[in-house]
Amino acid sequence: MYQVKEAFYTLQGEGAQAGRASVFCRFSGCNLWSGRERDRATARCTFCDTDFVGTDGQGGGRFATPAALAEHISALWPSDAGTAVPYVVFTGGEPLLQLDPALIATLHSVGFEVAVETNGTLTPPAGIDWLCVSPKGKNPLVIDQGDELKLVYPQTEAPPEAFAQLDFRHFFLQPMDLSPLDANDDTVARTTAYCLANPQWRLSLQTHKIAGFD
């Protein structure tokens, strides 16, 4: 049984695939926080900005089989998308708690590329087409290679230097908490300065928050 908080069609807002039409499938649950505010201070990840509890979001629900969830995702992709390759981004919560080879294979069979955005603390199934790892604090990574390493910055316990030697194609720094915009917040400027001084890293902004889409 797959538990999905929400699923919707949008543009990817962040990182190397920013601007790409995507079905976002947000799985319920995370291994680093319960999602309850009363647990935040003691959680293994404390700066989450996402509601991943339950299955009551837009397009959310419980899906008994890979075919049922793949059908739900396929129905969200436009029927007249021309030559665009259907693209689904599994996120969460932590998607690797639920994503499995059967679901990936089913989505491949109906033409989807499968992307994942993970905190990197769980072993991924084979077959993922785009693997994005976003380290959280001092939680040890079990994934040390992939397509994109996207680090929310700054994190005292997760400096960019700790990840720069890993085997990723793209390295992004993303300023923490861009919304709401705060004139006194210099996080964007500090992130920009780090990228200028360390050009291995590229700046990732949350364009969905800037442009006002989900």
Q: Residues in the site for ligand SF4, rule: CB under 6 A?
A: 30, 32-33, 45, 48, 50, 52, 92-94, 119, 136
- Identify which of residues 93 and 124 has a Cβ nearer to ligand SF4 in the complex: 93
Distance of CA 192 to the CA centre of its chain: 21
* Residue 133 CB neighbour total at 10 angstroms: 26
d(CA 103, CA 106): 5
What token pair was written down for 124?
A: 């991924």
CB of 141 to ligand SF4, least distance (A): 12
* Bridge partners, 11 (sequence order): 21
Rounded to an integer, what distance in angstroms lies between the CA atom of residue 61 and that of residue 103?
A: 16
- With respect to ligand SF4, which residue has the nearer C-beta, 74 or 206? 206
Of the residues 8, 10, 46, 50, only one is catalytic, namely 50
Residue 168 is among the residues annotated as catalytic for this protein = no
- For 77-93, b/e burial (b = at least 16 CB within 10 A) is beeeeeeeebbbbbbbb
CA distance 175 to 192: 9
Query: Of 17 and 118, which has the nearer Cβ to ligand SF4?
Result: 118
Other CB atoms within a 10 A radius of the CB of residue 176 amount to 17
Query: Judged by CB, which is closer to ligand SF4: 5, or 72?
Result: 5
Q: Does the active-site annotation cover 48?
A: yes
Cβ 19 vs Cβ 207: under 8 Å:
yes
Q: Is 213 a catalytic residue?
A: no
Instruction: Determine whether 46 is an active site residue.
Output: no
Q: Which is nearer to ligand SF4, 52 or 163 (CB)?
A: 52
Residue 117 appears among annotated catalytic residues: yes
Q: Give me the least distance between CB of 157 and ligand SF4, in Å please.
A: 13
Active site residue 132: no
Least gap, CB of 109 to ligand SF4 (angstroms): 28
Instruction: Write down the catalytic residue from 39, 47, 49, 213.
Output: 49
Residue 72 among the catalytic residues: no
Q: Residue 59 carries which DSSP code?
A: T
Is residue 25 part of the annotated active site? The answer reads no
- Shortest distance, CB of residue 32 to ligand SF4, whole angstroms? 4
Residues with catalytic function: 24, 30, 45, 48-50, 117, 208
